[in-house]
């Protein structure tokens, strides 16, 4: 209740920003992003489109993966007409298909691009029950599973980019306060609605997918923190000229996020 009230009045959080802050205001302190490459899913409309516009304004190179390539090309054209210097690459990606996610990542890898920022923004609220080609309820497949696999497959590239540039990467998962509306057994419910539509409730399915986004974010933050600490320890050890490559491999394999 208090959180909803804070949201409605635009009260600022720990970041210093609130629901009334604009993307322009948020990026005001980092006006030059020309060395940054950002991937934004769902940039053909809404929050994703505005995020793409403002990152392009700040000079970032954008990769816009989209299932609707025509809409993505139109979004690109709108940004380029406003910021002619923008570098924007449109690529095919249907997040509801795990094959499509894999194809997108291998195509991206073939371009040899760095990846500093990944914004997992695309989302859907499915009024009608549907099943993805992988046999998973469509809202969960799109909002969570596709982004989960995308993040997992891009982590190595993002870590490589961070190491080469010295700029820490950022992964942003866009969730919703509605994630708090889900109660019950997540695994059981996703199993039920992936088998039949009898238990399907669009709001509950959406809340479940957004809760999964939150849990993914928390677990990822935890695992990446472990990796960061290990890298820092290894850095210190190397500094004192102790050869610890086998130790490095051991920890890297143990702690690499999966």
Which residues participate in catalysis according to the annotation?
200
Stretch that binds ligand NAP, among 11-19, 119-127, 151-159, 236-244 (CB under 6 A): 119-127
Q: How far apart are CA 137 and CA 258, in angstroms?
A: 22
CB of 213 to ligand NAP, least distance (A): 8
Q: Which is nearer to ligand NAP, 68 or 222 (CB)?
A: 68
Write each residue from 2 to 31 as x if it is in contact with ligand NAP (CB under 6 A), else as -, in one continuous string.
------------------------------
Write each residue from 215 to 234 as x if it is in contact with ligand NAP (CB under 6 A), else as -, in one continuous string.
--------------------
**Cα 154 to Cα 10, 98, 106, 136, 157, distances in angstroms:** 34, 14, 10, 22, 5
Element (H, E) at 213: helix 202-239
What count of other Cβ atoms lies within 10 Å of the Cβ of residue 190? Answer: 21
CB of 177 to ligand NAP, least distance (A): 7
Write each residue from 164 to 203 as x if it is in contact with ligand NAP (CB under 6 A), else as -, in one continuous string.
----------x-x---------------------------
Whose tokens are 């190491």? That residue is 163
Q: In the window 37-96, what residues touch ligand NAP (CB under 6 A)? A: 41-42, 44-48, 66-68, 71, 93-96
Question: 58 and 31 in contact (C-beta within 8 Å)?
Answer: yes
Residue nearest to ligand NAP (CB): 46
Q: In the window 128-147, what residues touch ligand NAP (CB under 6 A)? A: 142
Sign, Cα dihedral of 149, 153, 158, 159: positive
Q: How far apart are CA 67 and CA 96, in angstroms?
A: 9
**Cα 161 to Cα 62, 118, 195, distances in angstroms:** 15, 12, 41
Q: Which residues bind ligand NAP (CB under 6 A)?
A: 41-42, 44-48, 66-68, 71, 93-96, 121-124, 142, 174, 176
């Amino acid at each position: 209740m208090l959180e909803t009230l804070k949201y409605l009045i635009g009260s600022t959080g720990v970041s210093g920003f609130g629901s009334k802050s604009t993307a322009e205001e948020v990026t005001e302190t980092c006006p030059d992003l020309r060395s940054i490459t950002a991937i934004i899913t769902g940039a053909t409309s809404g929050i994703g489109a505005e995020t793409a516009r403002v990152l392009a304004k700040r000079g970032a190179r954008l990769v816009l993966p989209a299932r609707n390539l025509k809409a993505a090309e139109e979004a690109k054209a709108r940004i380029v007409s406003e910021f002619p210097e923008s570098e924007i690459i449109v690529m095919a990606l249907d997040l509801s298909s795990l094959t499509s996610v894999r194809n997108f990542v291998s195509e991206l890898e073939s371009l040899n691009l760095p990846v500093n920022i990944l914004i997992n923004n695309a989302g859907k609220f499915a009024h009608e029950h549907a099943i993805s080609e992988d046999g998973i309820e469509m809202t969960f497949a799109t909002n969570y599973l596709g982004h989960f696999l995308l993040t997992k497959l891009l982590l190595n590239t993002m870590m490589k980019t961070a190491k080469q540039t010295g700029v820490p990467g950022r992964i942003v998962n866009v969730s919703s306060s509605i994630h708090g509306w889900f109660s019950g057994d997540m695994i059981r419910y996703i199993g039920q609605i992936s088998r039949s539509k009898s238990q399907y409730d669009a709001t509950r399915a959406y809340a479940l997918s957004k809760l999964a986004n939150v849990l993914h974010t928390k677990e990822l933050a935890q695992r990446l923190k472990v990796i960061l600490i290990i890298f820092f320890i290894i850095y210190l050890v190397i500094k004192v000229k102790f050869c610890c490559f086998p130790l490095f491999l051991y920890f890297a394999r143990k702690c690499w996020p999966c």
